[in-house]
Structure 1
Amino acid sequence: MKIIRSKQIRPLMVMVFILVMPQCTNAQFFKKLKKQAEEKIMKKADKKVDDLFNGNKKSEDQEVWHQSGNVDNGSKGGNAQEANKPEEKILYDHSDYLVYKSPNPAAFKDIVIQKFKELPRFGAIDSYMDRDNPKKVDLSKDAADKRNLTGLGYSGFHHLVRIHMLKEHFKVMDRTALTVRTKGKIIEKEAKSSLAQKVLKEFAFTMGTDALKKEYFMNDWSGTGKSALVREWGGHQADDFTENERYVDFVEKYLDEILEWSSDFFSDGSQDFQLVHAIKFYGQYDFDKGGFWVQLPIERQSMEVSSLGYFNEFSPKTSYGNQIANTMAQVEYINGYVLFKMDPGKAEALINDKSVLLQLTMKVRSVFKAFETSNPFVYGADYTYHFLDPTLELYSDALLTKKIGEIDLENLIYKEPD
């Protein structure tokens, strides 16, 4: 008789539990998982930035900002940074990036992210890999500097979006002391104040200059200025008085200019983007139709660090957008495979080129929908997005310089069921 061991039983029990849950509970369960995943990605992104700027890396391979968002280097103590490493200035050509200038360069770094057609590039960003072999890491200092620069920029972008979306929270935030939660109760004003203070601290530690972080996040026991920087007001093991003192001083000096800076992000509750997806051709070249089949990434959950939550729900505002949504709601077209027309000769050259990295671009608008209310002490927000242009462009490189064609959303040819 074959014995089923406990390790085999547990996964089965979990699956049975999920299947028998009521539908509403099931939805809440997966929504909670999604929220936890987003928070984990954000923390990993911030930690990766900390490591990159403070030399806490084991190998050059771990410098890369992978598009999947898995940027944890496996080290512990992600809330601490070494303070004895001089801050390195990265020189860059402003015209190559979208730059949100710091209102106070002595206190905060610029937010520098990638752009395409003068809009923020989100989704599949350029990870600065080897241009001849996109699966190989470019180990040059120039590529590493660009990864550092834009990696920090995307983290700063996300933090300032949160600050602006929480503008009503900041109106009731306690500026005179850190908020202490009342045990056993959820008091709305306390929850809003606590969340605003948390988001503000994360922004300050991520985007603050070396001098600012030493002032507000270092407990300099030795007096040498080389103690660790810790993601807590006052630094490592600071007492309550010091913690509150540093917080209040920071708020008095910098909060208003940070709030003003944040107004550039989702200023009216929406933001336009160039959303980029890394794609693959489905199957072989279709000689009868004269092209490749590609999957429209309309309902794909984007887990890239740069796309945190802004494109989770497709909510069309145009006739062609509604037609796409209605067609893909049908079982036979649920995968959304559409024809990308291409000459056979060009197609053969493309599939034999090892440097090809297919990128699909779309101009979209992300719109804030609502806050998640399951835990008022944790930031959670839902966004929808819709197309602004019916033309999708396909490129064969991460730089988006080698255009190979277009897909017209108003004249799609869907792949029929096999």
Structure 2
Amino acid sequence: MGSIAKTTVACVVAGGGPAGMVLGLLLARSGVEVAVLEKYPDFLRDFRGDTVHASTLNLLDRLGLGDRFAALPQQREQRVTMRFDDGAITEDFSRLPGRHQHIALVPQWDFLNLLAEAAAESPHFHLARHAEVTGLLRQGGRVCGVRYADKDTGRTCELAAPLVVAADGRHSTVRNLLGLHPRSSATPHDCLYVRIPRLPGDPDGTFLHFSATGGLVMINRGDYWQAALLIGKDTAQAARADDGAWTRRTIARLAPFTGERMAAIGAADIAVLQIRIDRLAHWWAPGALLIGDAAHAMSPIAGVGVNLAVQDAVAAARILVPALRCGRVSDRELARVQRRRQWPTVLTQAAQRMAQKRFVAASITGDVSTAVLRLPQPLRSLRHWPGFPYLLGRAVGLGVRPESLTGPLEPLSHG
């Protein structure tokens, strides 16, 4: 399914990730003809962003998809504890408003398939898989559609639309075609991802350990752990040397319960994720809008990436649906989307940079067994305040300025 029968739609969305699929679903349910182009043939890839926060869970409820999401295989976390050499802090979601007092860790391919199936129930939704955007159509200085390759047949197709939305991730093709370049913030680390067998007796929940001798996050995937080991920027090759001996040794030290099973892990089992934090100065051009990672790449810290992208999609749909129904989107309306979502992004990225500076950078300095990574101030004092875990849980679980289905999207709350 690499092409779409239509040659004209109201909106083309490049990228079938969380932002693209949520936007496609919302537009289709609002009666807007929308086409989502996904360059891969399916969603079965090893995603890193699988954390779904309460803000997104509440949205799924309003869309009538809460029960379908609850049926997906997932790990629910009501509390997440981050351990340091001299103590710990906890994010507690048990007092969040609404139905969901937890976050969910769910394979992203299952989440995307759910969204695709729900969107396909509308006759206004069109999804082309294995369809890669290769060019932009322009008229009078405005983007007016896309050129894309049907990778199943090798044909080149054109699809006209008054709006093209780039939701194609941190390596966005549409962004490159527009000549837009994000401004990057310095990041001190990258991540090594390792799949480790999970055995009876292992901890149940997410395991986070930040130490002077390393930083490790382990997510319970049922029969295995998805482990993310923090390493210095651009040091992946050295960390995987000697068939991954340093990686095995470091994970075993930070998570002693992994024990002898680490011996089976080799360099071929270690994937590298280059961490980026960046943001565009302008999220739009005449006839085009960028959302999610295409507009602002996030660090994995606190698992906010998927949820921030979903909030972008909700805001974009709510602001743009009236114009899309009329067949023309003005620059003013595109700028409104950026104004709405820019400051939540700025604040979230600022918090991520602070976390990197205060404890991530200190955990990647190497094997310094005599050193101690202390809780940063003011966390050292705030952790003694009984309400702090709930405040931290609210900040993470709901995020900054969660979006709702209001205005032209209000009927969706009953769908």
TM-score, normalisation: structure 1: 0.24
- Between structures 1 and 2, the one with greater strand share: 2
